[in-house]
Chain A
Amino acid sequence: MVTGTEQTYSYLRPSAVTFADGRTDVLLATSGGVTSAGAAAHPAFFDGFLGHPEQTSAALLAVAKVARTRFYTPPGMLAAILRAADPVVTSNGDRLRFESFSACCGVYARLDLLPGALEGPALDTGTTNVDFNPPMREALARVGGIDPLHLMVGEDVVVTTMDGAVTEKKVPLPERWLKGFAEVQLAAAGMQPAFEVAASEARRFLRSLPSSTGRKPLWVVQSGRALRLTTRPTPDGVCISGTDRLKPLEPLLRFARTLRAYTGPHDPSGSGGLWELGLEDARLLLTLSPDVSRGFSGEGGVLWDLADDQASDDADLVSALLAFEPTIDPARLSTEGGISEERVLRALGRLGASGRVGYDAAESAYFHRELPYDAERLAAMHPRLRDARALVEAGAVRLEGEVGFVRSGDAEHVVRRTPEGDRCSCPWYGKHKSSRGPCKHALAVDLARRGVTWTPES
């Protein structure tokens, strides 16, 4: 059964684009979120001109399009209800980041407007939702390349609350969507650069992609100056399942400078990939799940960290030191927090799972942002961890040296510790191996082991 919650967006007025006196004014209305001063109902982050107006408009439309798209419809779901969540915007002081997540939980899009694109400083730092209504999208499509573009992310509350009217819209957001939106950052953090090609090759390759490749993955590899598809799993290539998931990049190809791709840990059955289109003073990136039918919500890469109580305490410590930095420096946090860099990184992973940091692959660094959703709900939605704790509490775990035995239902599963990671005899592990995080039995054994041997000193 799909569980979910209803997200209520409350805007002072709808976002709008106006064309007057040869310039374009874009007002993005904001709803909820966090600023440097704490929680705010309608934060204001930016008021100034943007460079490259046509490129920025097209990129914003691409981000909004991902939010409105379901790239995969499960069998049997003939008329899926598609209610798009509004994009999230983060101001890191010197840059703005617009994020969205597809309805199928398999594609994450982010537009980074870098310092060169903003002709003026940010008013504040923080994260909020922005209204992307249909008239707004229509108006953005009309923005031309030679019109100055004035952007306001949020506005002075005193001015706009005169009539007291508030625009509200309610969007049901399934738990798996919220979880996937948070977890995609951890997937990105585990990716490594694979290749970079020039704009002309990016255009040729992306336009030549078939509209559909079925559900089994293909890999993209560099062959000389060119890119090509291959069916052979290779650690040098980037896995792609569902080539239509790269279509949102197409309208931006005419502005592209480079195309850079990052690959997740090699897995012959498919791994995630990150595609970054380099633009003038901006980057548009898409992170794709390993399989078109597989959302980020079930990846479970963070479960080890979540099961670690020490990482929880470290996360509390690290979060207190964050201040919406564009790139988080683990060394600084290590010094300031008095904990090792490794513990900082584990803490950041845990914060990522609760939507409190994002990952910037181009900078190879986390950045601070707080997803404007209920953080406690985000952290609580891990059924495998919940089940593992229940197994431990029920006394279902038995340890014999390096081997753990977990009674689950009528069966007793065996968890062996090996240099490559824990191996379990359950069907879930048989199907996914370690590619989607640990199974509940391996987690339960880990919890039980640490319960026996872990001490604060260790």
Chain B
Amino acid sequence: MDARELSDLVAHGQVDTLVHRLAPLNEKERKLLVPGVKQMLDYRNRSQYPEWPLAVAVLGTIGGERQVARALENMWNLHVLGDHGVRVLRDRSPHWLPKLPGALLASEARHWNLVRQLVREGVVEMPDEPEYLIWMVWGVVAPNAFQAHQGCAARDGLLADPGLLDRELWLMLATERVGRQLTTTDGSLREFYDTFQKSKIPMPTRTWWHALVTLAAEGRLERGRLLDAALAAPLRDWAPSDVTWFVGLHDALVPTADEVLDRQATYSRLLTCDHGPAVKVAQKCLTPVLADDRLDVDALLSASHATLARSDKASVLAQLSLLKKLVKVRGVTEAAVPAVQVALDHPRPDVRERARALLDDWGVAPPDSAATLEFVAPEPQPLPAPDAVVPVADPDELAELLLRLLEEADDPIAIERCFDGVLRFGGQTSAATTAVLLRRAEESQLWGLDPRRDLAVVAKAWIVRPTWRDRFRKSAGAAVSATFGAGPHEGSLAWFHQARVAELVRLAAARAAVPLALPTHADGSIEAGTLAERLGGLPKGAAAGSLDLAVALLRVPPQDLSEDLVPRSARDGWVTGAIRLLRDWSPEWERVRGESKSRWGYGTPEPLVTFRDRKPSREKAGAVGQVADRSNALAGAGWDRDMGVWETRYEQLVAWWATYFPHHPDLFAAHLHPTMVGDLTHDRGLGVPVLDSLTRRRPGPVESSALVLGLCAKDVRVRTAGQDALLDLAGHGLLDGPELGRQAVAHLADGTVVGQRLSGSLAAAVVDDAAVRPVLETLEVLLPATGGRRDTAAFVELAAELVHRSGRRIAVPPHLVALAESRSSSVAAKAARRLL
């Protein structure tokens, strides 16, 4: 036989002849045919050759189990191969044949049917690999899966190979990862898509469930063994996705009372499972046999502890009902009490109430719980003084600090110390570390809004006088190279920041600048006296950056600001205006809502909420005035929001910017509102530094709004930071509960925030007693707005719990009074009754 004959036989589909002609060849002769087979396998020639004769040629010529598996990788329908594959391998009997099943099952196409034929014909042993049993799920149904007239794909597949029912089926049902394969396969078999009618035809009879249940009903499968297999799966410590199918099979088998009692130990153990549906199965099956004397009540009660310690509501309530019935029919009150007491620790108050009611019915007093201890609201604590900031001492320290921050710019005060040092030590460098720093700064390939990029540029400017080209690049605005679209809006924080960095590079190059903006305290503030000293020390002709001065003025407490701080020589027109603006800062904030498109101008518009100043100052105040002007707050808000979503180091920038506004958190929060709205749907954690900056004074509407957005963020860290901020404010007696409530109502009313997240965050915050009263005040404002909302129950439950805990009453809105007086048994109605 030569390559041409082989090619002709394959091309004409003469498989019997092919098998016959291949049979007498030895391995050497087969090897000579391999190039021809590989040519046929080439993707350019594949369409000329039918798949299954080509597969026979592969099996008859190519050597090595992995090589064969690889050659068959793109052939997906080898179940039509018939016995030709087995015949050709039996004739050939290569030494690698025992390893072939493993290699085939590991390949992408799997070829379970070919492996099965080899096993069935006794050519190879059943593979040890679990893949043989996992891929059996699809392999059995594959021949019939795509034919609508085959009404029982799985059943027919099993009956066509009855040997499977004796051994493989039972092993399959005990193999990990089979469950998810069965779920997927049954999901695809359950409905047939009719391409002509373009509709889905329900065909449940094609599934494995149907096959096993009907075969058991006909006596072809042992029903008891099948039931045991279904019950064993949840106890095998498998992933939930592997268990769900078995729970469904159990339900489809509909066990009788005798069958349940025969397996009562297993059903009792199911009550201790992690898998909720399995617990439900046990509860459903055990409930009808509670009165039967054969039931082992002790085992059931012992297992009930685990069920009642679960954190979900449904299974615990169902178990309480089950125990109620058990006590009624078997009179085992004393033994049931310890189990029911477990539910008294449940996180949901309605579950705890049900457990308490059950104990009341049985005449048992519930044990004293911690919640019944007397509530004492803690005294507000004074605000701690922020740590002092120590400037860098020498160029060596500066170089080391820059080296550290170039790797992780996670400390805003350290960045400010670097900026200060770069100006103070202009012209001096560290003898030991300069070369390493310059090399690292030049190596840094950083893009976008990244503080490390700013530090690299500044470090280079410190060490090497920037060329005109570098200075031009910075002054032209880094945003042009940072983003492929428009740059930041004038007056935005990103714009302000980039202008400041560009100015710093210029000042560093001048080598004679005096730094002004280094905070004296870790919260970003500068003592007025210190700034006056810095300004007074300006030598003649020395440069002071206008943006450096603007940042410094923002950092001085407004009450300490006066024109006298600034020497006449440095008192430009904008300086006086900026000082007046910041000293007399009294914006009239108004919540505004708009929409933003992506920065590239396409995509679905996304909602934006921010605050505008209805009466902006008309003072000429330079960059300070531009940053403080929030009259057109929605302009550039979409850009800000998108930066938050896309820029990977934006959180570090936000933390840095927070140090610009230690005395104007409202202005900072107003700027960051678009970013915080982005946090509601993206888990980027950008709100954390914003929320951390809100804790040093009594929050107004803007800060309260930011707090609500933080409490409702998608990212857990932001929600936790919101709770931290709330607790800090409450602990210092600064939290304005009613204002927080008003902002929450506004955000809930237009669907900006998710109510469940808000109630969850508030509930998490009140583990600290300091937050109880302010949160109750928040809820008092919020509850009237809950009418008709689906999340009413969560707020009412929380309010009822806090009223109970603090002993303080709140005004209950009429719709909740009506609900409480109705006959409703909803969670909200029960909570409203507790609230009254």
Q: Chain A: residues with CB nearer than 8 A to chain B?
A: 54, 61, 64-65, 134, 137-138, 141-142, 144-146, 200, 203-204, 207-208, 210, 212-214, 216, 218, 223-232, 250-251, 253-254, 269, 403, 405, 410-414, 416, 423, 425-427, 429-431, 433
Contact = CB atoms under 8 A, between A and B. Distances in A.
B235 A214 contact: no
B416 interface: no
Contact of B767 (A228, A403, A410): A228
B432 A403 contact: yes
A254 B717 contact: no
A229 B718 CA distance: 11
A54 B342 contact: no
A142 B228 CA distance: 13
Contact of B237 (A61, A227, A229, A416): A61
B439 A228 contact: no
Given A141-B237, A230-B720, A208 B688 contact: no
A216 B720 CA distance: 12
A83 B432 CA distance: 49
Nearest to B307: A254
A411 B236 contact: no
B436 A411 contact: yes
Contacts of A203: 309, 345
Contacts of B176: 134
B16 to A, nearest CB: 40
Interface string B299-314: 1001101100101000
Interface stretch (B32-40, B403-411, B493-501): B403-411
Interface in B674-698: 683, 685, 688, 692
B159 interface: no
Interface in B475-509: none
A410 B265 CA distance: 71
A214 B406 contact: no
A413 B436 contact: yes
B269 A427 contact: no
20 contacts: A54-B302, A138-B236, A142-B235, A144-B303, A200-B370, A208-B347, A214-B716, A223-B767, A223-B768, A229-B723, A229-B764, A254-B305, A254-B306, A414-B432, A414-B433, A425-B399, A425-B436, A427-B403, A430-B403, A430-B404
Nearest to B771: A223
B266 interface: yes
Nearest to B436: A425
B269 A411 contact: no
Contact of A212 (B370, B716, B727, B769): B716
Nearest to A206: B311
Q: Which 8 A-B residue pairings sit nearest by Cβ, starting from the closest?
A: A430-B407, A254-B309, A226-B767, A207-B311, A431-B407, A145-B302, A141-B235, A430-B404
Contacts of B642: none
B408 A430 contact: yes
Given A218-B720, A254-B305, A431 B685 contact: no
B592 interface: no
B599 interface: no
Given A141-B235, A200-B370, A231-B717, A425 B724 contact: no
Contacts of B404: 429-430, 433
B400 A423 contact: yes
A416 B303 CA distance: 62
B299 A144 contact: yes
Contacts of B727: 223
B688 A231 contact: yes
Interface in B392-424: 399-400, 403-408, 410
Contact of B236 (A134, A224, A416): A134
Contacts of B273: 141
B298 interface: yes
A134 B130 CA distance: 12
B724 A231 contact: yes
Contact of A425 (B410, B433, B688): B433
Nearest to B311: A207
B232 interface: yes
Contacts of B435: 411-412
B268 interface: yes
Interface in B422-471: 432-433, 435-437, 439-440
Contacts of A223: 727, 767-768
Contacts of A253: 309
B721 interface: yes
B237 A138 contact: yes
B724 A232 contact: yes
B771 to A, nearest CB: 9
A291 to B, nearest CB: 13
Contacts of B345: 200, 203-204
Interface in B373-402: 399-400
B232 A138 contact: yes
B438 to A, nearest CB: 11
Contacts of A405: 432
B647 interface: no
B274 interface: yes
B715 interface: yes
Contacts of B309: 203, 253-254
Contacts of B347: 204, 207-208
Contacts of B407: 427, 430-431
Given A141-B237, A146-B298, A216-B717, 16 more contacts: A138-B237, A141-B236, A142-B269, A144-B269, A204-B347, A207-B347, A213-B716, A228-B768, A229-B716, A229-B723, A250-B274, A254-B309, A269-B410, A403-B432, A427-B440, A430-B405
Contacts of B265: 142, 144
Contacts of B720: 218, 229-231
A230 B433 CA distance: 38
Contacts of B311: 207
B705 to A, nearest CB: 20
A216 B432 CA distance: 34
Interface in B100-134: none
A212 B769 CA distance: 27
A142 B432 contact: no
A355 B751 CA distance: 56
Nearest to B651: A216
B436 A213 contact: no
A146 B305 CA distance: 13
Contacts of A212: 716
A206 B237 CA distance: 20
Nearest to A200: B345
A381 B763 CA distance: 48
B305 A412 contact: no
Contact of B685 (A64, A214, A414, A425): A214
B636 to A, nearest CB: 28
Interface string B157-196: 0000000000000000000100000000000000000000
A200 B767 CA distance: 14
A226 B406 contact: no
A146 B436 contact: no
A203 B408 CA distance: 37
A214 B715 contact: yes
A425 B302 contact: no
Contacts of B370: 200, 225
A200 B273 CA distance: 21
Contacts of A137: 236-237
Contacts of A141: 235-237, 269, 272-273
Contacts of B767: 223-224, 226-228
A144 B266 CA distance: 10
B540 to A, nearest CB: 38
Contact of B721 (A227, A228, A231, A430): A231
A211 to B, nearest CB: 9
B410 to A, nearest CB: 7
Contacts of A416: 400
A431 B236 CA distance: 44
Name the residue among B266, B268, B407 with the largest chain A CB count within 10 angstroms.
B407
Interface in B256-272: 265-266, 268-269, 272
